[in-house]
Structures are given as C-alpha cells and as structure tokens.
Amino acid sequence: MWAKSGKASPVASISASVYTSHIPAIGAALDLGKTAEPYWQPVFSGYQRSKEWMAKHVPDAIVLVYNDHATAFSLDLVPTFAIGTGERFMPADEGWGARPVPEVLGHPELAAHIAHSVIQDDFDLTIVNRMDVDHGLTVPLSLMFGQPSAWPCRVIPFAVNVVLYPVPSGRRCWNLGRAIRKAIALYDEPLKVQVWGTGGMSHQLQGPRAGLINREFDQSFLDRLIADPEGLAQMPHVDYVREAGSEGIELVMWLIARGAMSDRAPTVVHRFYHVPASNTAVGHLILENNE
C-alpha cells in the first residue's frame, strides 16, 4: 500500500487480525498426534478453514500479542507490555520440555520501529532482546500454521502482563492497538502485517470457581469485538473476572489486535467457538481489514 500524502512511498499495512485461545493442552494434543481423538477432533476441525485461509494469506510479519505465563518473566520482573526486538526466540521449556516446534524468527527492524513510535506515543514498552516464548505464543502459531519445519513468516512477540495484578485495562489495550496501527502505517517498507490477539476465552484455573465457563459472555464478547470494539474496551477488568473467570482477563489482549484494525467494519472470515478444551472455552476469529 502507498502512503496517502506526501511523496508516494511504500509503507507497511495491516491486512488482518486473528484471535484465538492458546490452551497448552492443544499444543500437547498436536505434538503427541492426538488431533483425531474424539475429544480433540471438534477443536481442530474448527481451525481447518483458518489454515486454508492462512495458506493464501501468509503475511510478512505477525505482531503476536500474548501473555507469558511466568516462563520468560518470573515474579522478579513483570513488565506490563514487552516487545521482542531480537532476531530469534526459542520455544520455552515449561516444565515438560520445550515443544517440538520451530524457533521463532523475529523482525528486529519493524519491532524497533514499533517500539520507537509507540513509546513516543506515551506507552511504556519493555524492550526484550532475548527471551523464550511459551504456549501463549506457540500454540496460536500451531493452530494457524499446523506443523511446518519452519514458521512461514517473521513473528514479533508482544507480551502483556495478565498474570500479576495490576493488569492493564481493556481501554489501555485498545489505545495501544491504535498506537501500533499508527506505527505500522509509518514503516517505510511495503510489508503485509497481521496482528494477533491470543488467550481466553472464559476460564478460571484455581480457587473455588475453578472450571468456570460462561458461554453467554464469550459469545457476546465475540459479537462486540466485531461490531462495537470501542464500547467493549470500556468494560472494567472486574467484569472480566466476575463473568469470565480469573484467567478470562486474558481477553484484554484481543483488544490490542482489534485496536490495530481500521475504523471501517472488518470482514469476518471465520468465527469459531467450542467448549470444552482442557479447562477453557475455545474462541477464534479471523477479521480482514477494510481500509
């Protein structure tokens, strides 16, 4: 795409956004060859169309918004927002060995540009040149690309703290998405970029409400993410926790990806919802950008 004003010069653009749960057991099911088992078959069949679409729409780079689960960041140091500016990121050992998936190649130039632009727009990003990436990032890649010997594009890990309180509000995530959109539109190379939001949907992994799933909340979240994202971004964090469980707060990350989309209504390429997978509801959307 070409810049609208000034000298005609090629710039980067956001072609689509992808939203998906990142359940670690999905990664294990894939890695252990269990995708055809009756429990998992309905989950993976929901991503069949996604893989077909993705095969035709591989971007140059993905800004992959996810949360680290005390893997790269321990309680010693918890950044609210962190951008991976390194050349490569290895799949993490989360206690049962690293997943047998390819290393993740970053895009240091685009990542550094986004960091510069977004920080100058008043968002505090932590710059991460070296870290391992956990299921929050690798499971979405597996769901969308299957099991290739190398990931087909560059991936910029963008980690959000939704593990240790205080967590960022949906409104701040939405505004951060807007700032990422602006940064990408100022990058002077005609890259096709996707922004992914991962985590969710409703789930709670601990305490008396462990196992909580709220289908009504999840479906309404998907409806509003498509049609009223700015209104949805006003929802306070306590509503996520009450309605979608303590880990349902991961859904604020979807607002970063949605905030990066244009103001025009997106094209809904695919929508999928399934319960259960492990302890959570699986939610998934692909939205194409209409500039």
| AA identity, residue 240 | Y
Of 135, 237, 270, 284, the catalytic one is 135
Q: Is 284 a catalytic residue?
A: no
252 torsion bin: left (phi>0), alpha (psi -120 to 50), beta (else):
alpha
Cβ neighbors of 92 (< 8 A, separation 6 or more) are 71, 72, 98, 132, 133, 134
22: contact with ligand DHB by CB under 6 A: yes
29: contact with ligand DHB by CB under 6 A: no
Residue closer to ligand DHB (CB basis): 23 or 167: 23
Q: How far is the CB of 30 from ligand DHB (least distance, A)?
A: 15
Residue closer to ligand DHB (CB basis): 12 or 132: 132
Residues 204-223 that bind ligand DHB (CB under 6 A): 205
CA–CA gap between residue 81 and residue 176 (Å, rounded): 10
Buried/exposed 252-286: b ≥16 CB within 10 Å, e otherwise = bbbbbbbbbbeeeebeebbbbbbbebbbbbbbbbb
Phi/psi of residue 89, each to 5°? -135, 130
Q: How far is the CB of 143 from ligand DHB (least distance, A)?
A: 13
Q: Which of 12, 69, 123, 133 binds ligand DHB (CB under 6 A)?
A: 69
181: contact with ligand DHB by CB under 6 A: no
Residue closer to ligand DHB (CB basis): 114 or 144: 144
Q: Is 113 a catalytic residue?
A: no
Count of residues of this chain found to bind ligand DHB when the rule CB under 6 A is applied: 11
Partners of 21 in the beta sheet? none
